[in-house]
Structure 1
């Protein structure tokens, strides 16, 4: 079960990164209201993906 949760965490990180990168570049989902919010969510998605990946590697 914990391995599945880390895979889901990586999936959520990729999804968040795609949504907010698309909003930053094209302004599609949220209308590009705040670029600072987009950048901060992209950074947070990267951190979540990194943490999920390192946890996935540590599990047997």
Structure 2
């Protein structure tokens, strides 16, 4: 969530690809922290999975 909020402070819109790229950068930066690395990996995986069908 912090990643997304940080990105919105810098730009008006954030795409799924932009968010995945930023998460990957942060995961690399914190590669020595197993907990953070796992959290970033999970977030990227969730963004990679197909989106749920529309409820409409």
Coarse TM-score class (shorter-chain normalised): 0.5 to 0.7
Structure of larger gyration radius: 1
Moved over 3 A (4+): none
- Runs of 5+ unmatched residues, structure 1: 25-37
TM-score (norm 1): 0.53
- Runs of 5+ unmatched residues, structure 2: 1-13
Q: Which has the higher helix share?
A: 1
Greater relative contact order (Cα < 8 A, sep 6+): 1
**Number of residue pairs the alignment of both structures matches:** 39
TM-score (norm 2): 0.56
Please report the RMSD computed on the Cα atoms of aligned residues, expressed in angstroms: 2.0
